Amino acid sequence: LTRAHFIPDALDEITRYLAQCKASIVVVSGGLGPTTDDLTRDAAALFMNVPLVEDALALEKLTSLFAARNVALTPNNFRQCLFPQGAEVLYSTVGTAAGFRLERGEQNFFFFPGVPREFEWFCQTYLNLEKTSHQSSTLLFFGRGESHLENDLAGIEELNVSVGYRAAYPVIELKLSGASQDVQHALSFAKTRTGQWLIAEDDESLSARIGRLLKQRAMTVATAESCTAGGIAAEITRISGSSEWFHEGFVTYANHAKVRALGVLTPTLEQFGAVSQEVACQMALGAQRVAESTYAIAVTGIAGPTGGTELKPVGTVHFALAAPDGVWHRHFVFRRQSREGVREATIVAALTFLLHHLEERLKDYPTLGPYAAEDVMTETGPHESPLSRS
């Protein structure tokens, strides 16, 4: 893919753009729906200087689809059966919009619906690009800044790959592209140099990696969430089959819920506040006990934008991991982040904490940071000090 362009929904703009495209394969996404702002088919006909003609098979498919669903066709639906004369119609089994293909000289223009699920299906079904030996792989890192990662990876460009970094808060993405065997070689190099920060690869997400390790050991994890309010449990259960390692989670947003559901002690809340090491540890131990799980992850923090104090600014989050060998604690301040940013960082940090324990990286890498080059998190408290179980 050499270029990507967004064109407004205007007939002349789309037509002009098609005319000036030089690529041998042009994929156009969107504008094939039934509404009046769906102008791609009209622009394609103008561009080829041909009329729009109705395709009988498309009409038949649309009519029977609506009949099967017992829904009336509206007049605008019929526009979806019109195609530029001479186009190859590309029928769909995943939506109401068909696509089409046009040829001009050596160029091939593919017109696909823009609904992401449908677009993906059309690419897989109709875009039979020749397989190449070119490969592109992505590694995700957490807890290390972009410029430090680049220093760790000094020399990787000499392995004949193209290297791209992207700060996609709270993680850093490293994308390696090139000939397959060069990329494989560079991946090994990158993992050796930066493995302690690696949390996911393009073929295995953080949740999938954690799930695989728990499943192998027939272990389970429970969650006890305050500031993320279910976001960690939702992330763990993205993985199909996660009911094998995840049975239950607790969203204890209010203090009285922490007390009732997890057995957090009221005097602890009063003495240390809800956002504290002590409460996080009691939440984790409570969740582990009630859910009868091997592990429990607990988070309590200040997502903001209000509620921060000088001692506990917005972004302060306490993490606790109840494990078979005791309860572990971490403490981050995710600085200068929006409410959503703090919550997203908390989800990744919580799962990373569990991953580190499962991969026995706690001792090898006793600190997670600093991540301060990009100023997104700082470890400020005691961390990973095993406490005795209460």
By beta-carbon proximity to a copy of itself, the closer residue of 48 and 299 is: 299
Residue 89 C-beta: closest distance to a copy of itself, Å: 20
By beta-carbon proximity to a copy of itself, the closer residue of 85 and 372 is: 372
The CB-side HSE value for 40 (13 A sphere, CA atoms) comes to 23
Instruction: From 5, 32, 25, select the one nearest 17 (Cα to Cα).
Output: 5
Residue 48 C-beta: closest distance to a copy of itself, Å: 23
Length reported for the chain? 390
Residue 150 C-beta: closest distance to a copy of itself, Å: 5
For residue 268, count other CB atoms closer than 10 A to its CB. 18
By beta-carbon proximity to a copy of itself, the closer residue of 128 and 306 is: 306
By beta-carbon proximity to a copy of itself, the closer residue of 107 and 338 is: 338
By beta-carbon proximity to a copy of itself, the closer residue of 280 and 314 is: 314
Query: Are 110 and 173 contacting, i.e. CB atoms less than 8 angstroms apart?
Result: no
The 3-state secondary structure of 74-132, one letter per residue: CHHHHHHHEEECCCEEECCCCCCCCEEEEEECCEEEEEECCCHHHHHHHHHHHCCCCCC
CA distance 108 to 44: 12
By beta-carbon proximity to a copy of itself, the closer residue of 196 and 378 is: 378
Residue 335 C-beta: closest distance to a copy of itself, Å: 9
Residue 152 C-beta: closest distance to a copy of itself, Å: 10
What's the one-letter identity of residue 358? L
By beta-carbon proximity to a copy of itself, the closer residue of 52 and 290 is: 290
CA distance 262 to 291: 10
CA distance 326 to 388: 6
Chain mean position to CA 81: 36
Phi, psi (5° rounding) for residue 82? -100, 135
Residue 103 C-beta: closest distance to a copy of itself, Å: 26
Residue 387 C-beta: closest distance to a copy of itself, Å: 25
CA distance 250 to 287: 7
